[in-house]
Structure 1
């Protein structure tokens, strides 16, 4: 893979992952500092709804281009600029005094971030040939998770030292790295042409998916594979800060050091597994590792506040994320038709994010009802449906991709 393409994948992956914690666990940590209730903090998970709804405007991005940089790059660049603006305004807000303003700005940030994801995912599927797709996805996911650690672990340390306002302003400045990646990215307009009409852009992707045998199983797996992870992640920060008394500096230091190594290692292991074994076997292994990683936080609730336990639990969680996401993205991106990449992958990723939005919004109340010692086992149990669906893998209608002799297009069979 050319060094420039590698650099672009890193920068765009970083840009894609940066906003997620800034509207998720980091924002919840800020709200925890402000003394807001667990129920209110949990309800803020609903601001991530655009990640699940983005499929409704993805056809618009497939069909139309903004002037100047091409169909994919134009949308990427403009959304990054809007993301930076939303972060600046969020930095100038106070959750306790202006909760509605914070909610509106967080929602604006997730809308622009979700739209950016549509464009960058489609660009990646079009810019990478089948030979480099697995490696490219692994690099993207690793950079994505590193960005989450920057906006999570590093942001926690910075908030302890310089306050939340300066931290969010610095995160806004970090979006400039992603804009450099967009500028360096190749234009893929010649690789996949835009649908000839808006009607085709909307109906074509759905018709293509619905005519496939076993698509219902694939949709269900997409929803449930990371359900346990999303439920656990939604309340991890309040649990560590309010439930166990860890400081922002302790949490941030762990996430910036051992967790960083774990996520990179997880991405590399996931990529290695995809080269060495079947996708089905990789999904099985990664699914079990994901479910097991949730129990690391359960052990903290049982054994008490010990820094070594925090290091172990956080490292295992990040290792599992890198492995599981690499395998899942390989499955979903390989299931897309290149003619409708933006919309089809937006649909898959929206289904993946759906539990994080619909179910995670109630996690604050769940934590109050169950207590921390029962909450995380419940989250681990929520991973079981995804694993059970793997027993029906033969009915999904999946096979290795093959190249069309006429167009060279890679398509699922």
Structure 2
């Protein structure tokens, strides 16, 4: 009896310690930065296209303007600039990460305000330019916030940082869609986009309050960069060309060389795992809305169950990720979510067999969204463990771009697959697509265990 009581006390103490991770100031602040990151995404995406169509802009123009959102998929191209280039005055006052966050947030706010006061029916080209400006500001903010999140806390708090980030991000996306559409319905689009521009004040205020993370460059990184300096000291190139080579090697070559040197032969396996981890989710997600309609669910059922309720389930999963990573570590949770993420696609196959039953949709959304929130939180913690804080922005931008691009490309063929097979087999196939990620998770646990990765320059 005494042993049982002692075990229960230890379990409660461990759980309490795991929950305490959410009380860390930087973990709390991450929720507000997540909100700032999630707000502009839909305002140059789904909400933007709804606005244009509402004003009668033709479908062809709307289709071309959807390319604005590609800024987030190619942000790795200018991540080295965010990693290494100091902004005049701002970097000296706020530090490397906060200066870029602040500059990006102000750019987004200006872009959204400009869109608010511009009529697309009269100046579509100007609205398009402002949307592009907002999208690139948003992608740049993502780079800086991702780097800050990785550098700000140690590994055991990364799950909680990811959870609060996802929570803030999802709430902002809901406001940017449902909130903006409702404001536009009650008043007009100028007020709607103006209100969204004001909400960027959440991110700006947070950036001004938080502290710049303390980053320590490890010995291996210093040695590699010293070799670059030695090479440049002996090169025949002088002047601007030499300065450019110094920046290019340090900002672009060194981050990739560092990653390959630290992980060796496993580097390619890690990159393939990153590229395949979310494929089943992205692949299935594109056809989710058409599936609900084909099955016979009403728009109100879809909106209520997959909208607010689905968001609550995603946030629940993300919160669980923070606790579970702190309690069990990244490795075991990575294997668990690699298996569960595609497995929950089978709940939709089951839903296809029972038809438009509300309880079936509720069960499918609970399973899919809780697992999805959990998987995203755990995966963000894993990606954070892979980076060297000397090159955080560049390396994390590479991982986050690689995480979505393959799935987004393959998702273009989901309509063809759905028409070729019935819905039951469609979801079974999407579940099977997740098999490589499960196998690779076990391989990484054996040969590149995430909990044993020594992330250089890790902060407190």
Cα distance change of structure 1 residues 237 and 202 upon mapping to structure 2, 3 Å threshold: same
- Residue deviations 1:213-247 (CA, integer Å, cap 9, x gap): 20111101101100121123334345556875633
**Deviation at residue 63 of structure 1 after TM alignment:** 0.9
Deviates more, 1:188-197 or 1:377-386: 188-197
Cα distance change of structure 1 residues 168 and 310 upon mapping to structure 2, 3 Å threshold: farther
Matches within 5 A, 1:91-170: 107-152=132-177, 154=179, 167-170=192-195
Deviates more, 1:21-30 or 1:56-65: 21-30
- Structure 1 CA distance for aligned equivalents of residues 339 and 267 of structure 2: 23
- Structure 2 CA distance for aligned equivalents of residues 15 and 47 of structure 1: 19
SS of equivalent residue, structure 1 residue 49:
helix
Matches within 5 A, 1:3-402: 4-24=25-45, 47-66=68-87, 67-68=89-90, 69-88=94-113, 107-152=132-177, 154=179, 167-188=192-213, 197-198=246-247, 199-211=249-261, 212-213=263-264, 214-237=266-289, 239-240=291-292, 244=296, 246-247=298-299, 250-254=301-305, 257-298=308-349, 301-363=352-414, 375-394=426-445, 396-398=447-449, 400-401=451-452
TM-score by length of 1: 0.80
Deviates more, 1:12-21 or 1:118-127: 12-21
**Deviation at residue 385 of structure 1 after TM alignment:** 2.4
- Structure 2 CA distance for aligned equivalents of residues 341 and 100 of structure 1: 35
- Structure 2 CA distance for aligned equivalents of residues 356 and 31 of structure 1: 27
- Structure 1 CA distance for aligned equivalents of residues 408 and 64 of structure 2: 9
SS of equivalent residue, structure 2 residue 298:
coil
Cα distance change of structure 1 residues 77 and 330 upon mapping to structure 2, 3 Å threshold: same
Tell me the equivalent position of 2:16: none
**Deviation at residue 81 of structure 1 after TM alignment:** 2.3
Deviates more, 1:21-30 or 1:129-138: 21-30
Q: Is the 8 A contact 1:49 1:357 kept in 2?
A: no
**Deviation at residue 201 of structure 1 after TM alignment:** 1.5
- Structure 2 CA distance for aligned equivalents of residues 138 and 402 of structure 1: 21
- Please point out which of 396, 406, 409 is paired with 2:457: 409
SS of equivalent residue, structure 1 residue 338:
coil
Size of the aligned set, in residue pairs, is 407
Cα distance change of structure 1 residues 300 and 400 upon mapping to structure 2, 3 Å threshold: closer
- Structure 2 CA distance for aligned equivalents of residues 291 and 274 of structure 1: 20
- Structure 2 CA distance for aligned equivalents of residues 136 and 178 of structure 1: 16
Structure (1 or 2) with the larger CA radius of gyration: 2
- Structure 2 CA distance for aligned equivalents of residues 284 and 410 of structure 1: 24
Q: Is the 8 A contact 2:82 2:393 kept in 1?
A: yes
**Deviation at residue 181 of structure 1 after TM alignment:** 1.3
- Structure 1 CA distance for aligned equivalents of residues 383 and 367 of structure 2: 24
Q: What is the Cα-based RMSD across aligned positions, in Å?
A: 4.1
Unpaired runs of at least 5, structure 1: none
Q: Is the 8 A contact 1:54 1:350 kept in 2?
A: yes
Deviates more, 1:105-114 or 1:385-394: 105-114
Deviates more, 1:133-142 or 1:27-36: 27-36
- Structure 1 CA distance for aligned equivalents of residues 76 and 55 of structure 2: 34
- Structure 2 CA distance for aligned equivalents of residues 89 and 370 of structure 1: 46
- Structure 2 CA distance for aligned equivalents of residues 192 and 379 of structure 1: 42
Q: Is the 8 A contact 1:231 1:360 kept in 2?
A: yes
Q: Is the 8 A contact 2:321 2:375 kept in 1?
A: yes
**Deviation at residue 345 of structure 1 after TM alignment:** 1.0
Cα distance change of structure 1 residues 58 and 384 upon mapping to structure 2, 3 Å threshold: same
Q: Is the 8 A contact 1:50 1:110 kept in 2?
A: yes
Cα distance change of structure 1 residues 73 and 41 upon mapping to structure 2, 3 Å threshold: same
- Structure 2 CA distance for aligned equivalents of residues 89 and 126 of structure 1: 33
**Deviation at residue 34 of structure 1 after TM alignment:** 9.2
Q: Is the 8 A contact 1:42 1:363 kept in 2?
A: no
- Structure 1 CA distance for aligned equivalents of residues 50 and 174 of structure 2: 14
**Deviation at residue 344 of structure 1 after TM alignment:** 1.0
Q: Is the 8 A contact 2:68 2:132 kept in 1?
A: yes
**Deviation at residue 358 of structure 1 after TM alignment:** 2.5
Cα distance change of structure 1 residues 346 and 31 upon mapping to structure 2, 3 Å threshold: same
TM-score by length of 2: 0.73
- Residue deviations 1:264-320 (CA, integer Å, cap 9, x gap): 321222223223335332122212332233344555555444544444333333212
